[in-house]
Amino acid sequence: MAEVLGAFEQAVLLAIVRLREGAYGRAIFREVQERMERDVAAGAVHATLVRLEKKNLLASSLGPGTPIRGGRARRFYRLQPKGLRALNDSRAAADNLWHGLKWPLKGYV
Amino acid sequence: MSVSATPPGWAEVLLRAVLTPGDFDSVSGDLLEQYRESVHPARGGRRADIWYVTQVLGFVWRNARLWATLLAVAVIARTAMDWLVPPVDFHARANVSTLLGVGILLLAGFWAASRSGSFAAGPVVGVATAAIAAPIEVLGAVTLLAGWHDPMTMAAIRGSGGLEEVLTLPLVMVVPGIVLGTIGGLLGAAVKRLRTA
């Protein structure tokens, strides 16, 4: 059965797709914030990353730190085949829901 | 951008308490990088500190919200029973609800510490559980009062300790939150150590 993704999960996964090799915690956080056009809690992004990794939609590995991070390691995330499938299924489901309707909706109310 | 700008140390201690050791390095690094590179230059020191503390409290909130909800539901259910179905003797009911409250706070501390490996997660999550539950409990009691304030219910409220107890008990629960959270935290950290040994 296809993995059902929420809007925030899709935002996090799509951020990883866009960032490619540069997909680490803070970069994902900023990308999600910019795309969603609102302030996002770092804890919400972290909790989502942990959950998606547990479901095997993502994999992560540690990379070197930088002086601005006080030398602390960066955790880089990569999309897994299951994650790619879930994103494609989510897009297909949304397209299906909108099929035959002209966007933006007008004249229905 | 300022490499020397530093967020409040106590907030970092709090963050370390609620994260696993594996997550602390990368998450605190992400927060520090965002703090130094974006937030501090844009908002200044004081507002950047507030941003950092808010982010850390978000992590604490995520650790405590389930336990806080359970505690609030237990307290509101007890209040509703005392007001709407008052018993002749409150002792049995008091024992059950005290055990339930103690159990929830112990488990909250145990769970948090067994995840992070730090006993300090226990008191942090214990206090957060009691603090988050308090306004929900007060709101629950006020809602009950708005719905049921006939003379019989008002007599039952007086008989069960009065409104003052219902409205102040949630605030007092912060103290058992520290104590029981610490005990749960010590047990949780010990179990984590045994598992990894």
Q: Does B193 touch chain A (CB under 8 A)?
A: no
Local confidence band at A2 (pLDDT 50, 70, 90 cut-offs): low
pLDDT at A40 over 90: yes
Q: Does B41 touch chain A (CB under 8 A)?
A: no
DSSP B98-149: HHHHHHHHHHHHHHHHHHHS-TTHHHHHHHHHHHHHHHHHHHHHHHHHHH--
Q: How many CB atoms lie within 10 A of CB B44?
A: 10
Strand partners, B147: none
Q: Which residues of chain B have pLDDT under 50?
A: none
- Using CB atoms, which residue from B3, B55, B61 is nearest to A67? B3
- The pLDDT, as a whole number, for residue B90 is 82
Which of A42-64 are b and which e, b meaning 16 or more Cβ less than 10 Å from the residue's Cβ? bbbbbebbeebbeeebbebeeee
Task: Tell me the three state secondary structure of residue A52.
Answer: helix
- The pLDDT, as a whole number, for residue B163 is 86
Structure tokens at B6: 């530093």
- The pLDDT, as a whole number, for residue A1 is 58
Query: Looking at beta carbons, which residues of chain A come within 8 Å of B27?
Result: 25, 42, 46
ipTM rounded to 2 decimals: 0.89
Please count the CA atoms within 13 angstroms of the CA of B72 that sit on its side-chain side.
20
User: Is there a contact between B177 and B102 (Cβ–Cβ < 8 Å)?
Assistant: no
Mutate to test the interface with B, among A46, A50, A74 (most CBs of B within 10 A): A46
* Shortest alpha-carbon distance between residue B31 and chain A (Å): 7
